[in-house]
Chains A and B, each alone.
Chain A
């Protein structure tokens, strides 16, 4: 009954989505307010039914009802409760249900909180939202039904993939989906604006906060995924330029660009048409990511071809939504009203530059991810485009972007003065040069690029600090006054500062980890000692232990630095009997922002065990950076003020450029 109720709720949600995707649009055309308002009640009811469906599936997993195929294939009665719950979205069907649940959540939020939106805009937005939802409900019901049943339930389930039995699964996919799906709101707004044929001020006020919410979650989701890969996969890599990772990075890059162009639109009413295009592109990339990950096209093009139902269905959704929205854009964009004017050297100009670099970077990732797939389809030749390609293309694009970052916030709206901005950044420039010089002196003969890259990071962080110092008048006026000013600064300004500083922090982490990482890989026997970066690790012994649904081999390492003993590290290897798989559980010892990382390999016949020990200097900065960025996003989001870009009054008549 639980399973069937969940199943029926999903069917009803699909029915409601169909009504919601037609009636409000008709209402908006005919000017009938009741029909337009129907979008709100159906959106809320959709959340009710999909939410119920999701909760019921969770209940099935928790009670280990193996008469449901999804539970049988992905759960085990001996699994700890947490993994029974996270296992709900640790598989294809369940994760698609999570996807639509979050979509319904966002739709319901627009319905509930969108009271200050013009009625027809709200109706159109929710109708577009229902198109997306309807397509995915149908996808789930026809090709990936999580409520399919087995008449003769087996005694025991097949267990969840052991790699997924980790706290990371509890956090990473929901975050990532909140990000992916959150961009559907800006997409719906963009398509609704195209349908209405006009972009009003309320449109601009709404798109930025929604984009920001999605962006914050996506940032955290990607960072979390990267940290999870780092400690779970057992060899200390944190980014692999894997297509699945790229699939999440592309919407992030486009979303970051969207965030900045939405800012221009909100404050200055400019770049409207471009923002609409970016909204469409960002969500299209989210859909593409879903397609890549969910159709199985990545594991093998051929595997995809042998069981094509799912892949073809998502591909169809992808083509209809991307093609349809872009066609609508081509049709309607020229008739939209152009926005405000600005000079090339201005805050707007800086943000356009930012958009240019971010979209180009996104395009390179796009090419690097899809080219191998296309080649395999056409010539069935398998190539892999890995780190070298991305380092060579993505890196050079980010360098000028990072150099430009500190200038942006210092330039005034509408028309700015590059020279004045540079003068105010002198201190930051000096700090960067000093950092480079010190690093060269310290490491003598090491890699050339590392000090330069760290100098760049210092430049970004120092630039942010000088911006804040400038705004609060630090060192020019009494300290207490600048403290008061700092408190009075809009929270969005602090948000910008944190987000930009996070970029620099992450860069420092990346450079230090890749340049000064030291490792020790060998087979060790008990009482042997390994020396890595000044640390001494002594293998004290191996023990066996029985976990709830696995057995594990634990190794105890006594760690000491300069004779001082540090906490014991116990990496382990777990073997899961049901699936016959094993996972490595790395042991991490955090010292400041640096980490010592120990993971186990296979045991050898003579009682030794393969051990990989890494010392990763400042590695944690890689993830503190994104956390700072997300924190900046939250700060900016909490700024409930309206945003008006106050331009400096024109001192001299200057030729203004059109925005688009």
Chain B
């Protein structure tokens, strides 16, 4: 049905509700009056007396009091009833016929979305994959299947990587957990679960994720993914030495044609240099640059660091690096601001706060 047709019907009903009272005839006396209430009360006293609920003396006292009120009310009742006011009624009719529909449409149009149809879930899941989002529909089907058969470990294992690719990391975490619960524990699955957790935390290796990688490595010390992420965790914690030794050990044990070699090597060079955030190639490139370009590159790096710290503020080393960078760039104000932010971010943890304060004192920006 066309929505506008429905809106029109509803508007007609609303207009009718306003117009109807205008067109009716009214008896001269509608509604209750004060006197009728008192007359009802008098009758009530008589009934109570007959039923023996009140004594004769009380009934008499009540009658006298009600009678007094009744007299007073009757005096007031001579209010002249004004006749119908035709011009006023006409104005109201115009309001109902013209202003009400216009105002309703004027209010509805900016708020509503009349072009949108219904999307009930049942209709959407029955629709054939329309080519636009085939993967999403397939995932929905698999998910529906798994809701009914939650113990299907293979299903979870298939679903989880797809969910990760769709960016639904939280659901992927749940899928890997279910895969582990129903399909048994393994070092690969633990590592995959950890990876999903890292994805859910926007690339930060959280405590939960680290625990999963550690379990995975405990089961299989040669588990590549888990080892790599443990190194990354060390790097993110600022323990670059630990990170480097983890990755060096991986490369030492790896077959020469391992597909992940370049990745780990790149990571190693990232933490291996003297300037930790700057790789050798980048340094080499920087040498060839003129001053403006070099400054732009450094600034870009500092900004990236600042953004990362905004998302995950636990990293004391990172904060100190940021403050140092600002000082080197001669932006003392930003350095002071960053140190304030850092205190707020790690304020929950007394040990970290102490480390931070000491570091800041060494840099000469303690407040």
Interface residues of A, Cβ cutoff 8 Å to B: 1-5, 7-9, 11-12, 14-16, 18-19, 23, 26, 30-35, 37-38, 40-42, 44-45, 48-49, 63-67, 77-78, 115-119, 122, 141, 145, 147, 149, 151, 153, 155-156, 200-202, 205, 269, 340, 488-490, 546, 577, 580, 641-642, 644-649
Beta-carbon contact of A16 and B14 below 8 Å: yes
Q: Which residues of B contact A644 (CB under 8 A)?
A: 41, 44-45, 62, 66
Convert B107-121 into 0s and 1s, putting 1 for each residue whose CB lies closer than 8 angstroms to a CB of A: 110011110111111
Task: Assess the B114–A15 pair: CB atoms within 8 A.
Answer: no
Whether the pair A42, B17 counts as a contact (CB closer than 8 A) is: yes
- Most central of A63, A115, A489 by chain B CB within 10 Å: A63
B103 adjacent to A15 (CB under 8 Å):
yes
- Does the CB pair B82–A31 fall under 8 Å? yes
Asked if B32 contacts A4 (CB within 8 A), the reply is no
Which of A66, A78, A122, A151 is in CB contact (< 8 Å) with B31? A122
Q: Please tell me if the beta carbons of B26 and A34 are within 8 angstroms of each other in the complex.
A: yes
- With A31-B81, A116-B31 as given contacts, are A546 and B150 in contact (CB-CB < 8 Å)? yes
Give CA–CA (A113, B65) in the complex, Å. 28
Q: Kindly list chain A residues whose C-beta atoms are within 8 Å of the C-beta of B252.
A: none
A-B pairs with lowest CB-CB distance, top 5: A31-B82, A45-B17, A63-B120, A116-B32, A64-B121
- Closest chain-A Cβ to B179's Cβ sits at a distance in Å of 14
| Residues of chain A with a CB closer than 8 A to B122's CB | 63-64
Contact string against A for B residues 1-27, beta-carbon threshold 8 Å, 1 for contact and 0 otherwise: 101001100110110011011101010
Chain B residues whose CB sits within 8 angstroms of the CB of A48 once the complex forms: 13
CA distance A5 to B31 in the complex (A): 36
B366 to chain A, nearest CB (A): 26
Determine whether the beta carbon of A648 is less than 8 Å from that of B58: yes
Bound: A2/B52 CA distance, A:
60
Further pairs besides A3-B116, A64-B122, A488-B51: 10, Cβ < 8 Å: A15-B104, A35-B92, A65-B120, A118-B32, A153-B119, A155-B140, A200-B37, A546-B150, A580-B170, A646-B48
B165 to chain A, nearest CB (A): 15
B36 within 8 A of A: yes
**B83-91, B220-228, B298-306: which one contacts chain A?**
B83-91
CB distance from B161 to the nearest CB of A (A): 18
- Measured between alpha carbons, how far is A2 from B139 in the docked complex, in Å? 27
Q: Knowing A118-B32, A149-B116, A648-B58, say if A30 contacts B82 (CB, 8 Å).
A: yes
Contacts of A5 in B (CB 8 A): 3, 6-7, 10
Report yes or no: A200 in contact with B73, Cβ–Cβ below 8 A: yes
What residues of B have a CB within 8 angstroms of the CB of A156 in the complex? Answer: 140, 143
Q: Is the CB of A33 within 8 A of B26?
A: yes
Beta-carbon contact of B107 and A11 below 8 Å: yes
Are A115 and B24 interface neighbours, CB within 8 A? no
CB pair A646–B54 under 8 Å, yes or no, is: yes
CA distance A34 to B73 in the complex (A): 25
Are B121 and A42 closer than 8 Å at their CB atoms? no
B100 with A19: CB separation less than 8 A: yes
- Interface status of B57 (Cβ within 8 A of chain A): yes
In the bound complex, residues from chain B placing their C-beta under 8 Å from that of A641 are 44, 47
Q: Let me know if B18 and A117 touch, CB within 8 A.
A: no
What is the number of residues of chain B that contact chain A, defined by CB distance less than 8 Å?
79
Q: 18 pairs across A/B with beta carbons < 8 Å?
A: A1-B6, A2-B118, A4-B116, A7-B112, A12-B14, A15-B100, A30-B85, A34-B21, A38-B18, A41-B17, A67-B119, A119-B30, A147-B112, A149-B116, A489-B53, A546-B150, A644-B62, A648-B57
Q: Are B119 and A35 in contact, with the CB atoms below 8 A?
A: no
What CA separation (Å) do A44 and B17 show in the bound complex?
8
Which residues of chain A are near B103, meaning CB under 8 Å?
15, 18
Q: Is the CB–CB distance between A649 and B32 below 8 Å?
A: no
By a CB distance below 8 angstroms, the chain A residues around B53 are: 488-490
Q: Are B89 and A4 in contact (CB under 8 A)?
A: no
With A40-B21, A117-B32, A646-B59 as contacts: A14 and B107 at CB distance below 8 Å: yes
Residue in A32, A44, A340, A490 whose Cβ sees the most chain B Cβ within 10 Å: A32
Across-interface contacts of A40 in B (CB, < 8 A): 21
Flag if B37 contacts A34 (CB, 8 Å).
no
A117 to B33 Cα, complex, angstroms: 7
Q: Quick check: B69 and A49 within 8 Å, CB to CB?
A: no
Residue B326 interfacial (CB < 8 Å) = no
Contact with A647, one of B11, B61, B108 (Cβ below 8 angstroms): B61
Point out the residue from B30, B40, B136, B140 that lies within 8 Å of A33, measured CB to CB: B30
The answer on a CB contact under 8 Å between A19 and B18 is yes
- Evaluate whether A141 and B58 lie within 8 angstroms (CB atoms) in the complex, with A149-B113, A201-B37 already known: no
Q: Are B69 and A201 in contact (CB under 8 A)?
A: yes
Distance in angstroms between the alpha carbons of A149 and B119 in the assembled complex: 11
- Residues of chain B within 8 A of A200, CB atoms compared: 34, 37, 73
Chain B residue numbers with a CB within 8 Å of A115 are 31-32
Is B361 at the interface (CB under 8 A from chain A)? no
Pair B40/A41 contact, Cβ less than 8 Å:
no
Residues in B with CB closer than 8 Å to A642 are 37, 40-41, 44
**B3 and A4 contact, CB distance less than 8 A:** yes
Nearest CB of B to A143, in Å:
11
B96 interface residue per 8 A CB criterion: yes
Contacts of B13 in A (CB 8 A): 45, 48
In the complex, A156→B89 CA distance in Å? 52
**8 Å CB contact of A155 from B1, B58, B60, B136:** B136
Q: Which A residues are CB-close (under 8 A) to B140?
A: 155-156
Q: Are A45 and B30 in contact (CB under 8 A)?
A: no
Instruction: Kindly supply a per-residue 1/0 record for chain B positions 133-158, scoring 1 wherever the CB is within 8 Å of any chain A CB and 0 otherwise.
Output: 00010011001000100100000000
Q: Cβ of A37: which chain B residues have Cβ within 8 Å of it?
A: 21, 24, 26, 30
B45 near A646 with CB under 8 A, answer: yes
Shortest distance from the beta carbon of A216 to any chain B beta carbon, whole Å: 24
Between B41, B59, B89, B113, the greatest number of chain A beta carbons within 10 A of the residue's beta carbon is seen for B113
Q: Is the CB of B116 within 8 A of A77?
A: no
CB distance from A495 to the nearest CB of B (A): 15
Contact partners of B14 in chain A: CB under 8 A = 12, 15-16, 45, 49
**Whose C-beta in chain A lies nearest to the C-beta of B25?**
A34
The smallest beta-carbon distance between B201 and chain A, in angstroms, is 13
How many angstroms from the CA of A32 to the CA of B21 in the assembled complex? 11
Q: How far is the CB of B337 from chain A (nearest CB, A)?
A: 20
B61 adjacent to A1 (CB under 8 Å): no
Known contacts A33-B26, A141-B111: A151-B104 contact under CB 8 Å: no
Q: Is B95 an interface residue (CB 8 A)?
A: yes
Q: How far is the CA of A4 from the CA of B116 in the complex (A)?
A: 8
- A119–B31 contact, CB under 8 A? yes
**Which residues does chain B contribute within 8 Å of A63, judged by CB atoms?**
118, 120-122
* Smallest beta-carbon distance B258→chain A, Å: 36
Contact at A66–B62, with CB atoms within 8 Å?
Answer: no
The CA of A67 and the CA of B13, in the complex, are separated in Å by 28
Q: Assess the A23–B92 pair: CB atoms within 8 A.
A: yes
Nearest opposing residue in chain A for B96, CB measure: A19
Output the nearest chain A residue to B45 by Cβ-Cβ distance.
A644
